[in-house]
C-alpha cells in the first residue's frame, strides 16, 4: 500500500510541476547551465549536453567532451534524475554524441517507476561562408519504461519504443545563433495502451552583445498544450567564472546559477523555483573537454 501511495504522490507532483497531466518521458532539464538560464538551451547547445538539447550543436565542436548532472526535482526524496553524455568530433563529418538519462521514483530502496533514455546523435555542417554557418543534427532516442513489482507480487513489466529528433543551428556574424529542434518527430507510442510520448518544437535565439555576455530567448510548443517561454542571460564576471539567471512561463519560474571552468574541467550549479506550491530545485553538473581547439 505504501508503494502505491508514493507512486500516486509522485505522479500528482510531476503533473503539478509540468502544469499538465503527467506523461512518460516528459521534459525535465538535464543541464544546469540551461536550467539557470530559464531552461533555454536549443540555441546554445555547444557542449556534452548537445545530444539532448539540439544535436546540430555537435557539428562545430572540435573538442572531445563529457558531461553529467544530477537533480532531485523540487527536493522530493523519492525522485531523482541522472544524466551522462558526451560528444566526439569527427572533422568534416561533423560530430557524434550520446546521452544516458535515468529518471526514477524510489521507495525504501525499491524502484517503483523508472524511465531510461539512451540517445545516439549526429551533427554536421551543411553550409559555411564568411559570416554564416548552417548546421543540421539528428538523434535517435531509445526509451524504456519500467514499473516495480506490486506488494501482491504482480510484475507490470516494461515497455520500449524509439523516438527521433531533428535540429538546426544557424550562426550569423558570430554573435547571433538561431536554433530549432523537433522532439519525437515520428510520434512514438509506448505500452499496451499506445501512450503517445510528448512531441515538442523548440525555437530559440542566442545573441552576444558583448564578449562574455550571452542572452537567450526560446519558445517551446507542445502538441495540444499552451506554449512555454524561456529567457535568460549568462555573463562572465571573471576569466573562468560565469553567472546566469533566467525566467520561464507555464508554470512561472525564476532561475539562477553559476559555472566555473579551468583547463577543460567545469563545475555548474543551477537553482529554479518550484512554480506554485512546489519547492525549488537544485541541480549540479560537471563537464570535461579535451583535445582540439577551445571555442
Is position 73 within any domain? Answer: yes
Is position 266 within any domain? Answer: yes
Is position 172 within any domain? Answer: yes
* Domains held by the chain: number: 1
> Rounded mean pLDDT of 143-163?
85
Q: What is the pLDDT of residues 69-97, one digit of tens each?
A: 999 999 998 999 999 999 999 999 999 99
Residue 219: which pLDDT band, with cuts at 50, 70 and 90? Answer: very high
Is position 126 within any domain? Answer: yes
Is position 206 within any domain? Answer: yes
DSSP per residue, 150-172: PTTS----EEEEEEEEEEEEEEE
DSSP state of 62: -
Instruction: Inform me whether the pLDDT recorded for 251 exceeds 50.
Output: yes
> Rounded mean pLDDT of 11-20?
41
Is position 295 within any domain? Answer: no
pLDDT of 14 reads 43
The enclosing domain of 187 has a CATH number of: 2.40.160.40
Report residue 99 as a C-alpha cell.
546521452
Show Cβ contacts of residue 188 under 8 Å, excluding neighbours closer than 6 positions: 143, 161, 162, 163, 164, 196, 197
Is position 63 within any domain? Answer: yes
Is position 176 within any domain? Answer: yes
How far is the CA of 257 from the CAs of 37, 52, 119, 128, 162, in angstroms? Answer: 8, 20, 26, 34, 33
Instruction: Inform me whether the pLDDT recorded for 215 exceeds 60.
Output: yes
pLDDT of 95 reads 97
Domain that holds residue 222: 2-21+29-290
Amino acid at each position: 500500500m505504501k508503494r502505491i501511495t508514493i507512486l500516486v504522490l509522485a505522479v500528482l507532483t510531476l503533473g503539478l510541476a509540468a502544469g499538465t497531466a503527467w506523461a512518460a518521458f516528459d521534459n525535465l532539464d538535464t543541464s544546469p547551465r540551461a536550467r539557470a538560464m530559464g531552461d533555454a538551451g536549443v540555441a546554445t547547445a555547444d557542449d556534452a549536453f548537445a545530444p539532448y538539447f539540439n544535436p546540430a550543436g555537435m557539428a562545430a565542436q572540435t573538442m572531445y567532451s563529457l558531461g553529467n548532472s544530477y537533480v532531485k526535482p523540487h527536493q522530493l526524496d523519492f525522485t531523482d534524475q541522472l544524466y551522462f553524455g558526451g560528444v566526439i568530433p569527427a572533422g568534416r563529418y561533423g560530430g557524434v554524441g550520446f546521452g544516458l538519462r535515468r529518471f526514477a521514483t524510489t521507495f525504501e530502496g525499491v524502484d517503483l517507476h523508472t524511465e531510461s533514455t539512451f540517445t545516439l546523435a549526429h551533427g554536421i555542417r551543411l553550409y559555411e561562408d564568411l559570416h554564416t554557418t548552417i548546421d543540421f543534427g539528428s538523434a535517435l532516442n531509445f526509451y524504456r519504461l519500467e514499473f516495480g513489482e506490486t506488494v501482491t507480487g504482480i510484475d507490470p513489466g516494461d515497455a520500449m519504443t524509439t523516438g527521433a529528433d531533428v535540429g538546426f543551428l544557424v550562426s550569423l556574424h558570430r554573435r547571433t545563433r538561431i536554433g530549432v529542434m523537433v522532439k519525437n518527430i515520428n510520434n512514438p507510442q509506448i505500452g499496451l495502451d499506445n501512450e503517445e510520448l510528448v512531441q515538442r518544437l523548440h525555437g530559440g535565439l542566442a545573441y552576444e552583445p558583448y564578449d562574455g555576455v550571452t542572452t537567450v530567448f526560446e519558445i517551446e510548443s507542445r502538441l495540444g498544450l499552451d506554449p512555454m517561454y524561456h529567457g535568460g542571460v549568462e555573463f562572465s564576471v571573471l576569466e573562468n567564472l560565469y553567472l546566469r539567471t533566467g525566467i520561464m512561463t507555464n508554470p512561472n519560474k525564476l532561475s539562477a546559477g553559476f559555472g566555473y571552468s579551468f583547463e577543460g574541467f567545469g563545475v555548474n550549479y543551477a537553482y529554479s523555483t518550484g512554480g506554485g506550491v512546489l519547492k525549488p530545485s537544485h541541480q549540479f553538473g560537471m563537464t570535461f573537454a579535451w583535445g582540439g581547439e577551445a571555442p
